[in-house]
Amino acid sequence: MLRIAICDDDKKLCIQLKSMLNEISENTGEIFEVSAFCSGERLCDLLMRGNRFNLIFLDIELCEINGVEVGKKIREEFNDEITQIVYISSKESYAMELFDIRPLNFLVKPLKIEKIESVLKTAMKVLGSSNQYFEYKVSNVSFNVLISDILYFESSGRKVMVVLKDDVNEYYGKLSEVEGKIKNSDFFFIHKSYLINYNHVIEYTYEYVKMSNNEILGISQNNRKAVREKLLQKKQRMRHVR
């Protein structure tokens, strides 16, 4: 599934683009979750609260905060290089201004469904399986966290704790569901309560691992042999890659 944002102060264009995306979804079987924003401020407010999109169709000629400024915020202030940005405009004279934002594409209005479909195919290739983000919901609000930023997941009662280097987020869920969603071999269980990211392990023994935030997590006795083998395999692969 692709999470897509449309940011344009022309409501008719938002409706038109949404309709095109629905048609492409019906024809291809791909699932798109589409949100529309009529101003750059509204989009930035949502991004500031931790929400992320896989793909943003972003108008350049927005009032107050224009599309170029929004793009710079995404890349520099929010430090987000993963979200793909497709600029849309009625003019063709923005090439140099957009260079530093590294957009996926630039579309000139009026939009054509063939161009939108081509952009979506490219975005899905760049994003791979759209698996760079881990998505969870709190009170029906979706949040996205870069998987590479997650140190580990911890089960705490009915909640899952998403542990980052400088933050901890929580939501109602199960670790077994997390494992199924991320499908990432860099994550594995060291204990029924801990699903860790190998890339954030800075030290390990037979009994514990030390994570990049200097937390020490115990390895359960039943998991020690399997965890040791997995850590050694990962270490050997990393050496081979280097």
- One domain for residues 109 and 162: no
Q: Do 118 and 18 share a structural domain?
A: yes
Q: Is residue 135 part of a domain?
A: no
Say which residues have a Cβ less than 8 Å from residue 122's Cβ, sequence separation at least 6: 104, 105
Is 70 exceeded by the pLDDT of residue 6?
yes
Identify whether residues 11 and 119 lie together within a single domain.
yes
User: For the segment 142-194, what is each residue's pLDDT rounded down to a tens digit?
Assistant: 888 888 889 999 999 999 999 998 889 999 999 999 988 887 668 999 999 99
Say whether both 226 and 153 belong to one domain: yes
Closest CA to 6 of 50, 48, 49, 62: 62
CATH number of the domain that 22 lies in?
Answer: 3.40.50.2300
Q: Which of the four pLDDT bands, split at 50, 70 and 90, describes residue 41?
A: very high
Residues 102 and 209 in one domain: no
Question: At 237, is the pLDDT very low, low, confident or very high (cuts 50, 70, 90)?
Answer: low
Place of tokens 């930035």: 44
Sheet hosting strand 55-59, strand order edge to edge: 32-37, 2-7, 55-59, 84-89, 105-108
User: Given phi > 0 = left and psi -120 to 50 = alpha, else beta, which region is 85?
Assistant: beta
Instruction: Give the C-alpha separation, 234 to 199, whole Å.
Output: 9
Burial of 152 (0-12, 13-18, 19+ CB in 10 A): buried
- Quote the domain boundaries for residue 164: 142-241
- Higher confidence at residue 205 or residue 97? 205
212, 218, 214: which is closest to 198 by C-alpha? 212
Does position 38 have pLDDT exceeding 70, yes or no? Answer: yes
86 with 117: CB under 8 angstroms?
A: no
pLDDT band for position 129 (50/70/90)?
A: very low
Per the model's pLDDT, the better-predicted residue between 231 and 54 turns out to be: 54
Q: Specify if 236 maps to a domain.
A: yes
66 & 93 share domain: yes
Mean pLDDT of the chain: 88
Q: Are residues 236 and 156 in the same domain?
A: yes
Evaluate whether residue 213 is within a structural domain. yes
pLDDT classification of 48: cutoffs 50, 70, 90: confident
User: Hey, which of 19-28, 85-94, 121-130, 201-210 has the most confident mean pLDDT?
Assistant: 19-28
Q: What is the pLDDT of residue 80?
A: 83
Q: Mark which of 61, 92, 127 sits at the end of a domain.
A: 127
Q: Is the pLDDT of residue 118 over 90?
A: yes
Nearest to 77 by CA among 112, 98, 55, 47: 47
| Domain-embedded: residue 134 | no
User: Domain total for the chain?
Assistant: 2
Instruction: Please enumerate in sequence order all residues whose Cβ is within 8 A of that of 139, keeping only pairs 6 or more positions apart, or say none.
Output: none
Report d(CA 107, CA 87) in Å as an integer. Answer: 6
The more confident residue out of 41 and 91 is: 41
Let me know whether 72 and 148 are in one domain. no
Give CA–CA dist 202/140, Å, rounded.
35
Instruction: Classify residue 112 as left (phi > 0), alpha (psi -120 to 50) or beta.
Output: beta
One domain, residues 173 and 237: yes
In a domain, residue 132? The reply is no
At 49-102, the pLDDT tens digits run 878 899 999 999 998 899 999 999 999 888 888 899 999 998 877 766 788 788
pLDDT at residue 186, as a whole number: 82
Could you tell me if residue 137 is inside a domain?
A: no
pLDDT digits (tens, 9 = 90+) for 212-227: 899 999 999 998 998 8
**Is 164 part of a structural domain of the chain?**
yes
Q: Do the domain assignments include residue 74?
A: yes
